[in-house]
Structure 1
Amino acid sequence: LIRICRDVVSANSNDYTRVDEWLLSTLQRKMKKITSAMEKLKTRTAFNEALYGLYNDWKWYIRRTGGRLGKAAEKFLEEWVKILAPFIPFTAEECWSMLGKSGFVSLEKWPEPREELINEDAELREDLLKNLMEDIRSITEVYGKPPKKIVIYVSSKKKRELLGKAIELKSLESKAALGNLIKWMIAEKLADKKKAPTLAKLMVDTLASLTSKYKEKTLLNVAENELEFYEESREFLEREFNANVEIYSEDQENIYDPRNKASTALPLRPGIYIE
């Protein structure tokens, strides 16, 4: 924690990116959980979330930014130190002083979550990125060697309608919903009779896993700008996998697609090809 304080104090970046939005959003949610645990006298739960939960968020933020620290990092740390004060008072006071704050952090008002900083779109984007990385690693494990080139295919504009249709059919019994979705895909020429059942099942499963956490409106919003987000994340993915990363839209002309993996792209679940 002292090292993190030193890093934040010495940083001079004023950038505010999508990852910064995510950091402050996840902070608000953690604050709610920690406060609730404290009020119920579940101090161990509160401590684990305050120390390890927020530290894991911080580590992800550092990975995503490549070590760049901006205003969001400073705000995150200020609130984090306040939260940690009841658990590690001496370290918290030292960090508070390093941040240039006057008085004692133990006398500061307990931080309250700010609803306006909760950003579901930002949280979903980071979850999708983590899911993509897990899929890439799974494919890489099958090959048994590190990738040299990773190609990511985002679903076409036409296929994004599939997400809306899946949401529309979600209220039906599962088999009926799947059957209707398959028929719709074939009728709209989004897939042939051979591929439609597999893609429809993947879309239904993806939707089921995400709607337990996110609003349907959030899914549609993020799907609309999916290509832009992955393009912004290209440098991060190249660092993580030490490989060249190319990103295409499924309906883009002259794309590199030797194994026809673009056709497997779905909204919120890109197609992947690895060399």
Structure 2
Amino acid sequence: LWNHLAFMIFNHVAIFPREHWPKQIVVNGSVLMEGKKMSKSLGNVVPLREAIRSYGADPLRLALLISAEPSADADFSPALAKSMRGRLERLYLFTQRVAQLKPGEGELKLVDRWLLSRLQRRVKAVTEALEEMRVREACHTALIEVEEDLQWYLRRRRLSLESLEGDGVAVRVLREALSAQVRLLAPMAPHVCEELWELLGGEGFVSKAAWPEPDESKVDLEAELAEELVASTLEDVRSILSVLKSKPTAAYLYVASSWKWEAYRRLAELVSKGASLSSALRELMSSGELRSRGREASSFLEAELGLKVAVFREDDPSRYDPRGRARDSIPLRPAIYLE
């Protein structure tokens, strides 16, 4: 510390004008290797050149950045470095394929709006994390969470790398998402991001490109809630299937009746305005039957679960409900009956 830190300060003072002197100096403790101190005596030191040859510069950078915060020691893991390399390779192949396809015009579907809405939240989260030096959080959001969003989008759109061609709207949405993701990742994985930026037709260097900014006009709460409903329902059905001894052939889902949805909406509105839960409930109980909107994704659920899926409103007189499960439905949590 008294050697390297002192010379670092001396060099900056000697070379740079005062306005470029360090404003803050962060000193990490030991560099760990899978939780143990990295030292020559333990024989677990990995020379930098060897690590770059084994994993690549960008995967190595990500493995170190995603394993530590300023207040915590860096903990290097070969398995994590390999994982980061795999994620970057998948991102490269995916971006390469999308960049080859022509975007098209057309009306956005609900899941298109969902992805663009989630993207605005990811951009905001990464920006705030970097501004506050929460680099691990920024890496995780920009690389892992955005990848998870893209994978869910492809599943909901029933698309693959091979079937993307011909769906111009999906290509347009994916190019927008990838353009933002590449710029978010550029500070952490600059080498591969420069290549990806060129593939996407970006002008100049990505390191000099404008940082993405969240577009509030693309935040779509309706789309996000609808997708949350689909994802949670899928998870619920799979949880039930995991404990059944025999596999059913059909799943019957019952969504809440209109008055429950409107009560849910008004309750959230009243509480957000500062009303207590008890007073909000009293006001709700005084209102009559109200309207709501239903959301269905039966074809997607059928493909994911391998079951016939039927969706009914709780108050649908023609519903199939031999066990009386419909009355248990609540907003954003359908009741489920497997047969």
Shorter-chain TM-score tier: 0.7 to 0.9
Partner of 1:107: 208
Match of 1:20 among 93, 98, 112: 112
DSSP-derived class of the 2:312 partner: strand
Partner of 2:292: 224
Q: Figure out how many residues of one structure are paired with residues of the other and give that number.
A: 235
* Cα contact 1:147–1:241 (8 A) shared by 2: no
Partner of 1:122: 223
Match of 2:152 among 60, 79, 102: 60
- Greater helix fraction, Structure 1 or Structure 2: 1
Q: Deviations over 1:175-213 (max 9, x none)?
A: x988x69xx59xx8x9xxxxxxxxxxxxxxxxxxxxxxx
DSSP-derived class of the 1:35 partner: helix
Letter in 2 for 1:62: L
* Cα contact 1:162–1:267 (8 A) shared by 2: no
Q: Deviations over 1:109-147 (max 9, x none)?
A: 111111111111211222222221222122222323444
Distance of aligned partners of 1:256 and 1:87 in 2 relative to their CA distance in 1, 3 Å threshold: same
State the shift of 1:90 in Å.
Answer: 1.7
Match of 1:77 among 152, 165, 178: 178
Distance of aligned partners of 1:177 and 1:147 in 2 relative to their CA distance in 1, 3 Å threshold: farther
What is the CA–CA distance in structure 2 between the aligned matches of 1:82 and 1:271, rounded to whole Å? 42
Distance of aligned partners of 1:28 and 1:66 in 2 relative to their CA distance in 1, 3 Å threshold: same
Q: Deviations over 1:241-263 (max 9, x none)?
A: 01111111122232222222222
What is the CA–CA distance in structure 1 between the aligned matches of 2:251 and 2:242, rounded to whole Å? 14
State the shift of 1:224 in Å.
Answer: 2.4
Partner of 1:40: 132
Q: Deviations over 1:203-241 (max 9, x none)?
A: xxxxxxxxxxxxxxxxx9xx922x2x21xx222111110
Distance of aligned partners of 1:168 and 1:55 in 2 relative to their CA distance in 1, 3 Å threshold: closer
User: How big is the alpha-carbon RMSD for the aligned residues of Structure 1 and Structure 2?
Assistant: 2.9
Letter in 1 for 2:230: L
* Cα contact 1:31–1:113 (8 A) shared by 2: yes
* Cα contact 1:147–1:274 (8 A) shared by 2: yes
Does residue 244 in structure 1 map to residue 314 in structure 2?
no
Letter in 2 for 1:237: L
State the shift of 1:92 in Å.
Answer: 0.9
Partner of 1:205: none
Alignment of 1:206-225 (within 5 A): 224-225=292-293
Moved over 4 A (4+): 164-174
Q: Using the aligned pairs only, state the percent identity.
A: 37
What is the CA–CA distance in structure 2 between the aligned matches of 1:28 and 1:155, rounded to whole Å? 30
Does residue 94 in structure 1 map to residue 184 in structure 2?
no
> TM-score of the superposition, structure 2-length normalised?
0.61
> TM-score of the superposition, structure 1-length normalised?
0.74
State the shift of 1:172 in Å.
Answer: 4.4
Letter in 2 for 1:81: V
* Cα contact 2:249–2:308 (8 A) shared by 1: yes
Match of 2:239 among 131, 138, 150: 138
Distance of aligned partners of 1:99 and 1:161 in 2 relative to their CA distance in 1, 3 Å threshold: closer
Partner of 1:2: 92
Q: Deviations over 1:30-80 (max 9, x none)?
A: 111111111122222211211112111111111211125331111001111
Letter in 1 for 2:93: R
DSSP-derived class of the 2:254 partner: strand
* Cα contact 2:262–2:292 (8 A) shared by 1: no
Structure 2: give runs of 5+ residues left out of the alignment: 1-90, 165-169
Letter in 1 for 2:173: A
DSSP-derived class of the 2:258 partner: coil
What is the CA–CA distance in structure 1 between the aligned matches of 2:141 and 2:205, rounded to whole Å? 23
Structure 1: give runs of 5+ residues left out of the alignment: 191-219
What is the CA–CA distance in structure 2 between the aligned matches of 1:22 and 1:153, rounded to whole Å? 23
